[in-house]
Structure 1
Amino acid sequence: MLKPLAIASLLAVTAQAWADTDAQRIAALDYAALDTLTALGQGERIAGVPRSSLPEYLSSYASDDYADVGSLKAPEYKVLDELAPDSIVISGRLGGEKDQLEEIAPTWQNGSAEGNDYWSQLEANTHALAEEYGVDDQAGPALDTLHADIAEAVATIEGSPEVLVVLHNDGKLVYRQDPVINDLMSLSSPTLPDDVETQTRGERSFTTLTPAQISAMAPDLVWVVDRSAAIGQPPLNIETLHSELGDLHVVKGSPRLWYLASGGLKSTLLQVNEVVSALQQ
């Protein structure tokens, strides 16, 4: 019979072996978390991703080396069962599925980065995710580098341009205060015309803009986040919008980057650089 001390030692070794192997295979059902884990050098631990809607900059995960575990809002439970990951990462989009996913593997919900304090939220989310997977010592240096890169990019913007951000959804253009553009980059949005109306549906409010109203606002840049294109629906016809807005400078961001992957270490810098590039055109 093993003595108590021997039992304790055996349990400690078993626990360590479990820790060494059990967190190695991750099913990442959130692109921001996938982005951040990759940036922190944890790409080899990824076993499954939603492959059908991967942003271009994460296309290395599109191969058959990674299980296709569904979508950002609808997990493929059969695939996840067969994959048997050691852990699952989700966003708030799958918050309602967390208990069911927990039956397959421990499930971590990554925070979002939005609103009026983007950087603080990005820092907190990065440290929390890195700590969960044992690499928090890498989070600080990565964030410091990102902060410096963002500051360098924003410093190249001349003057104080006004940027109007609109979300394209099923043919409609909806006014948007964007956390990267308006908060992180501190770029102002033009004043809305008096005839603009805000509609409320449930707990959400929408301010739809017409091309005439956008023209009246006369922003230095109209930045389009194409939700429809990001989720596989008919995209905005950017040429038609150009013709409707005349001389206004209109640029569409990379749809999946902007709508599906915001809040990652790499995606944040890519978004900043896209806007800076557009303002320099």
Structure 2
Amino acid sequence: MNKKLLMLFMAVLLAVFTAACGSNNAAPATPAADANKAPEAAQTSEEVTIKHKLGEAKLKKNPKTVVAFDYGVLDSLDKLGIEVAGVAQSSNIPAYLEKFKDAKYTNVGGLKEPDFEKINAMKPDVIFISGRQSDAYEELNKIAPTIFMGVDNAKYMESFKENMKTLGTIFGKEAQVEEELGKIDAAIKELNAKATASGKNALIVMVNEGKLNAYGAGSRFGILHGEFGFTPVDTNISVENHGQSVSFEYIAEKNPDYLFVIDRGNAVSKNKEVSTSTKETVENDLIKNTKAFKTGNIIYLDSANWYLSGGGLVSTAGMAEEVLKEVKW
């Protein structure tokens, strides 16, 4: 009997010991699982500080709810595969960004008239703006970290690259940004070499309801001279955002080898083709006597890229490629 009790006691003791061992072996499982989750949690909570022209923004990396007012930033985000939640649909979205007219994107107002109520309701993680929204910066910055991404015309490529690298940092797209910038650099290098070797001069004007404005080096469209390498036909054009008002007599007198034309009406209208009336206005009897006309070098530029969405990965590449293709060297 005592022997049976002893055997029963030993069996119970063995069971307790086995359970205790199993419990000890299982204990580390919970910390291990937490350790695996830790890097992911750290990644989503990592913050970046972005300094820009209007101030400083602190935000988490890879923000989810993004509002983009600037169309150049919008085309860059799209190129990088980054989702956008809010777009300025009340203004003229360039045709190549037409998908952003869809109702699935929140209409955050116009380029100069943000809809603060809608933006606030979205609870965005970041808002990207440029010059047209600079007056609304303080108000927008109260809603979410707001970053100014306008291009400095006096140093276009430098500021453009800085903006793109900022996007790369915020969204973890550094390698892709560098790749795209490399392609643009290559196109501009080729363009600059051709423009320099040609020894010819150029003038860029914007047509707006029959009125003409010329732009020189360091101005809004000064990339044509600075980075693209075209010699200005006139080095005394005043550097103003809206350009210097000029006449057709002025163009005839300067007699440029290349005349580049931006049709503002084309940019802000639903009709995205250069109108016949614009060509008739530009190619009048005075202009027909210029070298640009006689050699077929009046180039009507893509007004969306140049006027609406400059400073983007897509638009800047398009600007260089267009000039390379259209100019008769």
Cα distance in 2 for partners of 1:148, 1:274 equals 14
Residue 32 of structure 1 aligns to a residue in which SS?
Answer: helix
Q: TM-score, normalised to structure 1's length?
A: 0.80
**Structure 2 match to 1:169:** 208
Cα distance in 1 for partners of 2:79, 2:299 equals 27
**Structure 2 match to 1:82:** 121
Deviation readout 1:220-270 (Å, 9 max, x if unpaired):
221112334434499872222212411524232122221121111111111
**Structure 2 match to 1:133:** 171
- Counterpart check, 1:31 vs 2:79: no
**Structure 1 match to 2:7:** none
Conserved? CA contact 2:191–2:229, under 8 Å: no
Shift of 1:181: 0.8
User: Which has the higher Rg, Structure 1 or Structure 2?
Assistant: 2
Residue 85 of structure 2 aligns to a residue in which SS?
Answer: strand
**Structure 2 match to 1:208:** 245
Cα distance in 2 for partners of 1:232, 1:273 equals 24
Cα distance in 1 for partners of 2:158, 2:44 equals 35
Deviation readout 1:97-153 (Å, 9 max, x if unpaired):
1121123222111131412x3222222121123223332343222211221233345
**Higher RCO (CA-CA < 8 Å; seq separation 6+):** 1
Cα distance in 1 for partners of 2:38, 2:141 equals 24
CA 1:118–1:103 in structure 2 vs 1: closer, same or farther (change >3 Å)? closer
Residue 65 of structure 1 aligns to a residue in which SS?
Answer: coil
**Structure 2 match to 1:59:** 98
Shift of 1:48: 1.6
Deviation readout 1:20-54 (Å, 9 max, x if unpaired):
89711211001111122222232xx2112123411
Residue 208 of structure 1 aligns to a residue in which SS?
Answer: strand
Deviation readout 1:191-244 (Å, 9 max, x if unpaired):
37xxx997x9xx878532211221121112211123344344998722222124
**Structure 2 match to 1:46:** 84
- Counterpart check, 1:246 vs 2:268: no
Q: Among residues 307, 311, 315, which one is paired with 1:263 in the alignment?
A: 311
Residue 102 of structure 2 aligns to a residue in which SS?
Answer: coil
Conserved? CA contact 2:191–2:228, under 8 Å: no
Q: Among residues 233, 252, 263, which one is paired with 1:226 in the alignment?
A: 263
RMSD: 3.3
* Matched positions, count: 264
Q: Percent identity of the aligned residues?
A: 27
Q: Which amino acid aligns with 2:232?
A: S
Cα distance in 1 for partners of 2:44, 2:76 equals 26
Residue 23 of structure 1 aligns to a residue in which SS?
Answer: coil
Shift of 1:90: 0.6
**Structure 2 match to 1:181:** 224
Shift of 1:12: 9.6
Q: TM-score, normalised to structure 2's length?
A: 0.69
Q: Which amino acid aligns with 2:306?
A: W
